[in-house]
Chain A
């Protein structure tokens, strides 16, 4: 193997996307994803057992699709990387078992890696070497974290803050349900918000001043109260205004804290990842505030922001290139893997 340009296959099953990606160093060769999102829609949220069943069903077809797209044979791969956590326990287990089987059958080294660190590393595939150190804002339906990343693939990631209740994407899903919009809530709220007034309703911004933790539960409740009051009074609910005002509150809190974290850490680079990074208002507001603060912003394209195998492969390739020690075959899946454990 070319040690600085290893051919790495990455497997991701931490939530509802079955992802298999293949990279050569920082070059993306394949990014196959099978999503079970439609199967969760009628439940209004990801059902772990439904996700796990879908992972098992999709694993081999997705793996074969990735290999075919990359034009490589299974045996050509130099190493296998897999999300070991954090995420849904039963879902993670499917991916971890799949990666072990691949590594064992072909005698390849196995790397159990951290999902959050992979969200950061994926940007290498789109924008090349990251400016280090950087602050990372990772927001999705499953997690909301603010991290200090001294070096991509390094073990010294520091969690500056995380959500104390709902993840940002979860708040979107709950507000969408309240407004009678489909799951997942991000895209329909983003679309409606474009037609609404973001200043129409002053929803609360939780914990603006203290620390870097997030809380979205209070915001969600405030939206529910406001909507219920209108309904009770027999007045129409201006859902575009509610969507725009809610979205503004979320984007405001996320970007304000991210910018403050970068300033606090003396860091000039911010990267945003996770499914919510596809949100148009979050991207626009982050760009505007980064420009004003003299911070350089990097956001991977939406397809790389959501969960995928390429991000796992990207981080795996960095670990291989840095000579990291492979994981053992008894590698556990850890639903609460701390962000400091980049490699398990």
Chain B
């Protein structure tokens, strides 16, 4: 039961083929750290995974995509790729909050903070209790993130800001965890889900006032 996994919510351009029949088994993965490279790198990464695993697109059961939160431009590359790839093959898509994949990787932690780079001196964050999300996702200044009682922090935000707790090794959403977060839905043949990006911020645009006078 093979699924294509895509995540472009962070500086990692992630594509993988994961078998979710039993334990989520990664059959092929390509993870490239390049914050501005999603548009160019993602499709070749998917092609490389398919060829490494010797799998044809028609053999895929579903596409699982990280829906963010993450920088908008890169995030959209992953979501539109997942949506069109699945639509043309007539297979379902399932969305996973990208932070949940980091939460899943740290499911042995009683109180885990996941923090990723939201640029503009902010982080995208969520809190997990043994893998289950209990707060977030949200975007905040690092000082405003509720850190009471946390036992560890994961995600690239831990490289940028000090949260005063041990730092786990996972920096970007692990492909196997992304697949695990959707595995039940894949196995149950749940209805396809629209991939709705978790932007968490409005577009920067302000309605203009009256036109400025050109004559002094």
Using a CB–CB distance below 8 Å, which chain A residues touch chain B? 42-44, 47, 49-50, 52-53, 55-56, 59-60, 63-64, 74-75, 89-90, 93-94, 96-98, 100-102, 104-107, 174, 177-178, 221, 224-225, 228-229, 232, 328-333
Contacts and interface: CB of A to CB of B under 8 A. Distances in A.
18 contacts: A43-B206, A53-B197, A56-B76, A59-B84, A60-B83, A74-B90, A90-B73, A93-B77, A97-B42, A97-B43, A97-B81, A98-B83, A100-B81, A102-B84, A105-B84, A105-B89, A107-B57, A329-B43
A101 B81 contact: yes
User: Which 4 pairs from chain A and chain B are nearest by CB?
Assistant: A49-B203, A100-B43, A101-B84, A101-B85
B16 interface: no
Interface in B34-71: 39-44, 46-47, 57
A332 B57 contact: no
A224 B213 CA distance: 8
Given A89-B73, A104-B85, 19 more contacts: A44-B207, A50-B205, A53-B199, A56-B197, A60-B83, A63-B87, A74-B88, A74-B89, A94-B77, A97-B39, A101-B82, A101-B85, A102-B84, A104-B46, A105-B84, A105-B85, A328-B44, A330-B44, A331-B40
Contacts of B80: 55-56, 59, 94, 97-98, 101
A74 B72 CA distance: 28
Interface of A is mostly: helix
A102 B88 contact: yes
Nearest to B73: A90
Contacts of B79: 56
B208 interface: yes
Contact of B211 (A64, A96, A224, A329): A224
B188 interface: no
Contacts of A329: 43-44, 47
A45 to B, nearest CB: 8
A333 B208 CA distance: 30
B43 A101 contact: yes
Nearest to B85: A101
A299 B118 CA distance: 47
B203 A47 contact: yes
B214 to A, nearest CB: 4
Contact of A104 (B40, B41, B47, B203): B47
B77 A43 contact: no
A98 B81 contact: yes
Interface string B181-216: 000000000000000010100011111100101110
Contacts, number: 124
A19 B197 CA distance: 21
A59 B80 CA distance: 8
A104 B43 contact: yes
A286 B17 CA distance: 57
B205 A228 contact: no
A162 B164 CA distance: 56
A37 to B, nearest CB: 15
A93 B204 CA distance: 19
A202 B84 CA distance: 52
Nearest to B86: A105
A47 B202 CA distance: 12
B39 to A, nearest CB: 5
B45 to A, nearest CB: 9
Contact of A106 (B73, B88, B203): B88
Contacts of A60: 83-84, 87
Interface string B9-31: 00000000000000000000000
B68 to A, nearest CB: 12
Contacts of B88: 74-75, 101-102, 105-106
